[in-house]
């Protein structure tokens, strides 16, 4: 959430933060009308509070005079009547101020984060910047198949029975596919905990609306999550939500930062608005597995740690020998709460294209302000921590990448060397 006081202070002092933020909205392709609206509402809110305080002061003054009159045995009825009127006036002003404050807060929750200065300005994904490409794109002597073709031929992915059991955008993984999914989770969790120093975590897979508000999914992306009927509980769209809210409304000690977690969870997304996109296969499912990387750190650490977190996600692809590229997202493709995001895109021979497999973002204090996560440094006033997260990796999409990059002409699939110890030494998947 954007700090309204900072916007207001910069406007009053004539400094450039307000203009910078307004420019950031334009660069994101967002309307600036809401920004003017929230500043007008905030000014009215402050006026109502000031008026309320003025009336309270009059009320206190009269109350003091009433006390004096009573001590002297004089008639205070006129002043008592005036005080009663002032009480009503205060109540009305406070109610209006509360309404204005509610409106300001609700609008503030819809304002996206300000892009970092290093983010390229652009309107779409076409304006994203390729930072590096790693690995060699495989060349086959045969026409590469897509993962779903391989999975159905090998009888280890079943979409038809999943549609019968649940509906579209679900799948049964069987045999070697189920074994590889489990192996990938174990491989990723062990890599990040043992080699990268993350604390392993398996979070709740159901959260309340306050947690979704804290990470920025609510209110903007409310239609994207599954709600448990007649409750304030929702299936998580990513482990980012419960793990970020682990410290909701807490004040951490400076010496305890940074803290980093790697969390496994299934993820549930309604995929609202994605009709017609990736209708075949595992690319865009309502349910999928993911290992999430999450870091809480001091403000002056976050951009350096963002680079580190992204490299940790990349290491999974490097160890599995999957070709990929790192993309720096432009302002037009940047996520709602992020100031800077790197997408890792893995090569899929079946689609003859790179597809996103991880998104690593620095939110600075955006989420911490919403979730009220702060740290204390000595005797200074508590400050908001910075939060970062990224997929390390999306498990299903990693399985897809292995299927397509390690496929053979006869329809069998080789298993990457790094993954074999987690699959009982198995070297291939064959019908």
Closest by alpha carbon to 28, among 183, 220, 172, 200? 220
Question: Hey, is 388 helix, strand or coil?
Answer: strand
Cα 215 from Cα 424, distance rounded (Å): 39
Please report how many Cα atoms fall inside a 13 Å half-sphere around the Cα of residue 218, on the Cβ side. 19
Contact 2, 113 (CB under 8 A): yes
The number of angstroms, rounded, from the C-alpha of 127 to the middle of its chain's C-alpha atoms is 22
Topology (CATH level 3) of domain 4-108: Helix Hairpins (1.10.287)
Which segment of 266-280, 331-345, 348-362 scores lowest on mean pLDDT?
266-280
Q: Write down the domain spans for the chain.
A: 4-108, 125-429
pLDDT in tens, 341-352: 999 999 999 999
pLDDT exceeding 90 applies to what percent of the chain?
Answer: 79
| The pLDDT value given to residue 65 | 84
Q: Where are the beta strands (DSSP E) in 161-250?
A: 172-173, 199-201, 206-208, 233-235
pLDDT band at 265, cuts 50/70/90?
A: very high
| The pLDDT value given to residue 256 | 95
Q: Above 80 in pLDDT, residue 420?
A: yes
Closest by alpha carbon to 157, among 129, 141, 138, 177? 177
Query: Which CA distances in Å does 291 have to 21, 36, 191?
Result: 33, 40, 11
Q: Above 60 in pLDDT, residue 11?
A: no
pLDDT band at 242, cuts 50/70/90?
A: very high
Q: Above 90 in pLDDT, residue 83?
A: no
pLDDT band at 79, cuts 50/70/90?
A: confident
| The pLDDT value given to residue 13 | 53
| The pLDDT value given to residue 431 | 85
Residue 314 in tokens: 């990349």
Q: Above 90 in pLDDT, residue 16?
A: no
Q: Above 60 in pLDDT, residue 14?
A: no
Q: Above 70 in pLDDT, residue 75?
A: yes
Instruction: Write down the pTM of the prediction.
Output: 0.91
Matching residue, tokens 């019968």: 164
| The pLDDT value given to residue 81 | 87
Looking at every residue in the chain, the average pLDDT score rounds to 93
Q: Which residue has the higher pLDDT, 339 or 88?
A: 339
Which segment of 68-77, 245-254, 278-287 scores lowest on mean pLDDT?
68-77
Topology (CATH level 3) of domain 125-429: BirA Bifunctional Protein; domain 2 (3.30.930)
pLDDT in tens, 366-381: 999 999 999 999 889 9
């Amino acid at each position: 959430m954007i700090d309204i006081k900072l916007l207001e202070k910069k406007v009053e002092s004539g400094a450039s933060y307000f203009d910078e933020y307004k420019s950031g909205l334009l660069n994101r392709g967002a309307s600036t009308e809401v920004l003017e609206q929230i500043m007008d509402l905030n000014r009215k809110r402050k006026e109502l509070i000031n008026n309320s305080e003025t009336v309270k002061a009059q009320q206190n003054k009269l109350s003091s005079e009433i006390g004096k009159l009573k001590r002297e045995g004089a008639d205070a009825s006129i002043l008592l009547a005036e005080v009663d009127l002032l009480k009503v006036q205060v109540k009305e002003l406070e109610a209006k101020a509360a309404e204005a404050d509610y409106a300001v807060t609700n609008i503030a929750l819809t304002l996206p984060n300000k892009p970092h200065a290093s983010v390229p300005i652009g309107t779409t994904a076409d304006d994203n910047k390729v930072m590096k490409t790693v690995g060699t794109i495989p060349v086959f002597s045969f026409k590469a198949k897509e993962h779903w073709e391989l999975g159905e031929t090998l009888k280890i992915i079943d979409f038809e029975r999943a549609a019968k059991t649940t509906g579209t955008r679900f799948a049964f993984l069987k045999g070697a596919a189920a074994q590889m999914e489990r192996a990938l989770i174990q491989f990723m969790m062990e890599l990040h905990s043992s080699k990268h120093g993350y604390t392993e975590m398996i979070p709740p897979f159901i959260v309340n609306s306050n947690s979704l508000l804290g990470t920025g999914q609510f209110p903007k992306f409310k239609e994207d999550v599954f709600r448990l009927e007649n409750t304030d509980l929702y299936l998580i769209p990513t482990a980012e939500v419960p793990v970020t809210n682990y410290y909701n409304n807490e004040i951490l000690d400076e010496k305890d930062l940074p803290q980093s977690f790697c969390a496994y969870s299934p993820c549930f997304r309604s995929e609202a608005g994605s009709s017609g996109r990736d209708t075949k296969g595992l690319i865009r499912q309502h349910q999928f597995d993911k290992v999430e990387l999450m870091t809480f750190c001091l403000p002056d650490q976050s951009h350096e740690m963002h680079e580190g977190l992204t490299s940790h996600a990349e290491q999974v692809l490097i160890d599995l020998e999957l070709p990929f590229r790192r993309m720096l997202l432009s302002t037009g493709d940047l996520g709602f709460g992020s100031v800077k995001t790197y997408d890792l895109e893995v090569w899929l021979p079946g689609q003859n294209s790179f597809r996103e497999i991880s998104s690593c973002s620095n939110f600075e204090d955006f989420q911490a302000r919403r979730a009220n996560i702060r740290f204390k440094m000595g005797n200074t006033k508590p400050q908001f921590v910075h939060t970062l997260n990224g997929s390390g990796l999306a498990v299903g999409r990693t399985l897809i990448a292995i299927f397509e990059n390690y496929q053979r002409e006869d329809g069998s699939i080789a298993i990457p060397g790094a993954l074999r110890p987690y699959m009982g030494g198995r070297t291939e998947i064959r019908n």
